[in-house]
Amino acid sequence: MRASVVPLRAWVVVLAAVAVVIGMAAWASVAAGEGQRPAARSAAAAAAATPARPTATPSRSSRPPGPVIEVTGAPGGVKAKGAVLADAATAQVLWGRDADTERPMASVTKVMTALLVLQGGDLGRQIRIPKAAVTYAWKYGGETASLRPGDVLTAQELLEALLLPSGADAAYTLANAYGPGMAAFLGRMNATAAQMGMKHTHFTSPDGLPYPTETSTYSTPSDLLTLGLAAMRYPAFRSIVDLRFYHLPKGQGHHQYWWDNTDELIGSYPGAVGIKTGYTDDAGHCLLFEAIRNGRALIGVVLDSPATGPAAGAKDAATMLNWGFKLRQTG
């Protein structure tokens, strides 16, 4: 296990967030749908709402300078080994635990995969599911979206399959399509992480599966905070990760699919709007999360919450959010 000994400082994350904004201004425009969507939608309804899926750059960030939340105390009872909580509008860090220590983050990895697809754009692109995607997911014991080899889905639909049921088969399919090829895609994942200032992050898979080793794909709470801030600037991303489930009716070239969101906060924690779960034996329960309450958005990460139950990461996240929302805003 790799570990950084640099202590957490709020200004480090602020500078990282600024670097994200500067770097992303040069990135390619992406396809995005504006606004929030209902908890479930059909493909026909989606097409009617956004018939052409126009391309758009990520939404601009306007972060006021300086701290705006008065931090007192710390959240009690958080069991995660690594954690961080920040104001999503300013990137002000409110609390952290070993936030610069490198740990495996399991399927939280898929947020970077989604970000690269969004950068590539053309979310209406038709992609055929290869048999190798299904074989890969089953070989390494990954969660799947139960994709059928030979089905043809759009990149947008594959993002739903990637982010909601956490499909390793969807990750494999998107990585090979957008690389093109797995090696090229992994190279882009690591290059993008470096560009974003995520100095303690490395990817060896597009999904966080323990390949080739349990800890070869790793990150830190601070780096994943940077990733979460970047991904949530895309309306197309936000409109997926806050869904409780997604239904894709049977259509020309593909079977019917139902995909439930693995994020236990969605639908149970008031104001939760995402973002992504993860779990392996070595990584423990991981969660990159965001919630909005009374106009305040908080974003955070938990890594390696002990496996006390399927919602272990969500319980830690809820504890942190409850504490954060009680803090007084001073500016």
CA angle 31, 35, 40 (to 5 degrees): 90
Name the 3-class secondary structure at 313.
Answer: helix
Contacting residues for 218 by C-beta, under 8 A, at least 6 apart: 2, 102, 103, 104, 105, 200, 201, 202
Rounded-to-integer distance, Cα 250 and Cα 146, Å: 14
Catalytic residues: 107, 110, 166
Name the 3-class secondary structure at 162.
Answer: helix
For 81-166, strand residue ranges (E) read 82-87, 93-97, 126-128, 152-154
Torsion of CA 153, 155, 156, 162, to 10 degrees: 90
